[in-house]
Structure 1
Amino acid sequence: MENQNQVHVFATWKVKEGQIENVLNLLQTVHDESIKEEGNLFYKIHQSNSDLNTLILFEGYINESAVTEHRNSAHFQDVVLGKIVPLLENREIVLAKPLEY
């Protein structure tokens, strides 16, 4: 598969004090559902070494349409937007295309 249209998502979440375990538990469901999506290439969750309340999500999709489908999915709408976002202090998202050298 060529990488021309792939989209990678880098999401940095600053979790409110005392909520990290709740967010990680909810993220397990999001991960498990996201990797079943037809357009998903990978969904990786990282925790900062210097601030355990900071999570970095690294996601890969076959194209922008797959990102849109992910954002419109029930698990994204219900769990991410409905349950996780209220537990965050800050949320930054960057969409990027991989470059080949």
Structure 2
Amino acid sequence: MEENKVFLMVKWQVQPGQEEAVRQALTQLVAHSRTEPGCLYYQPHVSTAQPDLIYLYEVYASPAAATAHRETEYFQQIVLQTIVPLLLSREVVAVNPLAEVVNSRF
């Protein structure tokens, strides 16, 4: 694992009745994000117990790549203008893989 990679765990709690709208916007976001040269991994997940909870696991090549992602026009439009107003809460946590059990893919 390289020291400068950025690993993010994102949790969105969607407002009741807005799940489908968020999923549609998220589909567009994922398609764009995965084309970024500094985006190494971008995978959304939905809770099996609470379908209004969406989790994203993101890996970027560097802090600059993570910043560049947030500064794209589509991030501003899809996340900040479309998705965030449909959420009850949004949490972004920077994490690091445990050295003892790192997946060699990253």
TM tier, shorter chain? over 0.9
Aligned residues: 100
Q: 1:62-82 CA distances to partner (integer Å, 9 max, x unpaired)?
A: 111111000001111011001
Question: Structure 1: which 5+ residue stretches go unaligned?
Answer: none
Task: String of CA shifts for 1:46-72, please: whole Å, max 9, x gaps.
Answer: 000110000000011011111100000
Instruction: Name the counterpart of 2:58.
Output: 59
Matched, 1:39 2:42: no
> What residue number does 2:72 align with?
73
SS in 2 for 1:86: helix
Counterpart in 1 of 2:10?
11
Contact kept in structure 2, 1:3 and 1:98, CA below 8 Å: no
Moved over 4 A (4+): none
Q: Which residue of 2 aligns with 1:24?
A: 23
AA at the equivalent of 1:29: Q
Name the SS of the counterpart of 2:21 in structure 1.
helix
Deviations 1:15-74 (A, max 9, x none): 000000000000001000001011000110000011000000001101111110000011
Give the unaligned 5+ runs of structure 2. Answer: 101-106
- Distance in 2 between the 1:68 and 1:6 partners? 12
